[in-house]
Amino acid sequence: MTKQSIIFFDIDGTLLNDEKEMPKTAKDAIYKLKENGHIVAIATGRAPFMFEKLRAELEIDTYVSYNGQYVVLNGEVLYTNPLKIEPLERLTEEALRHNHPVLYMDHKDMKANVPEHPFIYESIRSLRIEQFPTHDPSYYKGRPLYQSIIFCEAGEEQFYQEKFPDFDFIRWHPVSVDVIPTGGSKANGIEKITEKLGFSRERQFAFGDGPNDVEMLSRIYNSVAMGNADESLKSVAKYVTKSVDDNGIQYGLQMVGLL
């Protein structure tokens, strides 16, 4: 076989299409990678509990979740980077004044600070997951949180960006913005894994499609943007494959010589 590599895949728009379905060619390609002795991992903005079934289906136990804030290697937690609670509490107060709900997320669950809101329903339902956040405005107290979500329309997050330097704000939906520690990224999470395993940069690969993949595709040596990715992401990637629905994973792996 070829020399062992490690390949990180984003989920939404990369492994899964807009209908949250995985093309058969993508699944077959991942199993082929594993048969050939490579390590396959996930790098996502999702919470760990949001892709348990996918991990089981693909038999993957190494992943970067919460955009790099909760990292697991071979089923064991390798690295965490929780949010600072005091500025999160202040952000919540500001958000309440602007009628912007806030979601608190640890590695097991997610709780909203308001009982219900159409923005929460619209964005979380778009993920097509079984879980849905329940109401607990004090969930941020007494536990590490690895990501929050503030629900607001495009452009409104700028107010929070300017006011809260402890956080980075990454929009993933027309009414939803991820809140993570400043400087946190999938790329940082990936680095924890590759350093632990001793992979050279030439043996590292990453596939992605969204704004939260920019740093990952900028820093990973063999970076692949999906054909359905924004042009801004394609410009920083080393390779551009076909879209997820056009066998983009299979094609991309063939293009970089892994299949």
Q: How far apart are CA 137 and CA 47, in angstroms?
A: 19
Strands 167-173 and 204-208: unpaired
Shared-domain flag, residues 90 and 163 = yes
Expressed as residue numbers, the domain containing 104 is: 85-181
CA gap 131, 50 in Å, rounded: 8
Instruction: Write down which residue in 157, 181, 205 finishes a domain.
Output: 181
**Residue 10 annotated to the active site:** yes
The confidence score (pLDDT) of residue 130 equals: 85
| Same-domain status, 177 and 188 | no
* In a domain? residue 120: yes
Q: Is residue 118 part of a domain?
A: yes
- The verdict on residue 1 lying in a domain is no
What's the whole-model pTM score?
0.93
Task: Say which CATH number the domain at 21 has.
Answer: 3.40.50.1000
Task: Please indicate, yes or no, if residue 39 is contained in any of the structural domains.
Answer: yes
Parallel, antiparallel, or unpaired for β 239-240 and 176-181? unpaired
> Coil, strand, or helix at residue 248?
helix
pLDDT of residue 185: 93
Q: Mean pLDDT of successive 10-residue segments in the chain (259 residues)? A: 88 96 98 97 96 97 97 98 97 96 97 96 91 95 96 96 96 93 96 97 97 94 97 96 98 97
Contact by Cβ (8 Å): 205, 6: yes
DSSP codes, 9-73: E-TBTTTB-TTS---HHHHHHHHHHHHTT-EEEEE-SS-GGGSHHHHHHHT---EEEGGGTEEEE
**Catalytic one of 10, 106, 168, 178:** 10
Segment 28-60, tens digit of pLDDT:
999 999 999 999 999 999 999 999 999 999 999
- pLDDT at position 2: 63
CATH at 132: 3.30.1240.10
67 and 107, same domain (yes or no): no
